[in-house]
Chains A and B, each alone.
Chain A
Amino acid sequence: EAQVTQNPRYLITVTGKKLTVTCSQNMNHEYMSWYRQDPGLGLRQIYYSMNVEVTDKGDVPEGYKVSRKEKRNFPLILESPSPNQTSLYFCASSIGQGGSSPLHFGNGTRLTVT
């Protein structure tokens, strides 16, 4: 089944403790991206990747890192999480970065930083 898989679904951590949210897609998509969802703000892009080893910042990149060593994987890294990073996170992928390629989303990761 074609899908984007994120893990974990839920994560509770403390301020400053490094964490990684994994994302993997099995559709051979070139483009991958991370979003965060906050009430009243919709979803906002954190980072994106056009292809292997090509990543760039989105609208809200502060406090996050990503890597794209393989085409299928695009982990989101929080080196020193803070409470303002408590949010719902989505990984997404598409064939290309143009509008004609619909984004496929993972099932989300609910992160709480205390």
Chain B
Amino acid sequence: AQTVTQSQPEMSVQEAETVTLSCTYDTSESDYYLFWYKQPPSRQMILVIRQEAYKQQNATENRFSVNFQKAAKSFSLKISDSQLGDAAMYFCAYRRGSSNTGKLIFGQGTTLQVKP
């Protein structure tokens, strides 16, 4: 069975600094997708970034980028130039490329605090 692990329950960063959130996963599949979702206090689940396993190039979205290490099964999120609005809970998630359940498997979440 696939699993996703976020080992950092809480992280903090100074405004304008860079922070990296860790995520590891376990799967025997070769076709899969990885995601980072942001959940601010409003509870909304916002897709931050997506990575296809078959792509070697790391995904980037403005200040957000990932370090995808397929052999190590690691998928970390780097937030550059942190802003107060980045404060939220971040979830790492996995989904099989061809799934019969469509299930998104989530990690436990990391709460990010941004200090002014």
Cross-chain contact A42 with B106 (CB below 8 angstroms) = yes
Measured between C-beta atoms, what is the minimum distance from A64 to chain B in Å? Answer: 15
Cross-chain contact A42 with B109 (CB below 8 angstroms) = yes
Contacts of B104 in A (CB 8 A): 33, 35, 43, 45, 92, 103
Contacts of B9 in A (CB 8 A): 40
Measured between C-beta atoms, what is the minimum distance from A105 to chain B in Å? Answer: 4
16 further interface pairs, Cβ-Cβ under 8 Å (given A98-B99, A107-B43): A33-B104, A45-B103, A48-B101, A58-B101, A88-B43, A90-B45, A92-B45, A98-B102, A99-B52, A100-B33, A100-B97, A102-B47, A105-B44, A105-B45, A108-B44, A108-B45
Whole-angstrom CA separation of A25 from B52 in the bound complex: 26
- Ordered nearest first, which 7 A-B pairs have the shortest CB separation? A97-B102, A99-B33, A42-B106, A105-B45, A99-B95, A108-B43, A43-B106
Decide if A85 is an interface residue (CB 8 Å cutoff): no
Residue total for A at the interface (Cβ-Cβ under 8 A): 29
23 contacts between A and B (CB under 8 A): A33-B103, A33-B104, A42-B107, A42-B108, A42-B109, A44-B106, A45-B104, A48-B102, A48-B103, A56-B101, A88-B43, A92-B45, A92-B104, A94-B102, A97-B99, A97-B100, A99-B33, A99-B95, A99-B96, A99-B97, A100-B52, A103-B104, A107-B42
Contacts of B102 in A (CB 8 A): 31, 33, 48, 50, 94, 96-98
Majority SS of interface residues in chain B?
loop
Whole-angstrom CA separation of A56 from B103 in the bound complex: 11
Interface residues in chain B, defined as those with a beta carbon under 8 Å from any beta carbon in chain A: 4, 9, 31-33, 35, 42-45, 47, 50, 52, 91, 95-104, 106-109
Cross-chain contact A99 with B91 (CB below 8 angstroms) = no
Whole-angstrom CA separation of A58 from B109 in the bound complex: 20
Measured between C-beta atoms, what is the minimum distance from B85 to chain A in Å? Answer: 18
Contacts of B43 in A (CB 8 A): 88, 107-108, 110
Measured between C-beta atoms, what is the minimum distance from A24 to chain B in Å? Answer: 17
Whole-angstrom CA separation of A46 from B101 in the bound complex: 11
Whole-angstrom CA separation of A102 from B94 in the bound complex: 11
Whole-angstrom CA separation of A44 from B101 in the bound complex: 13
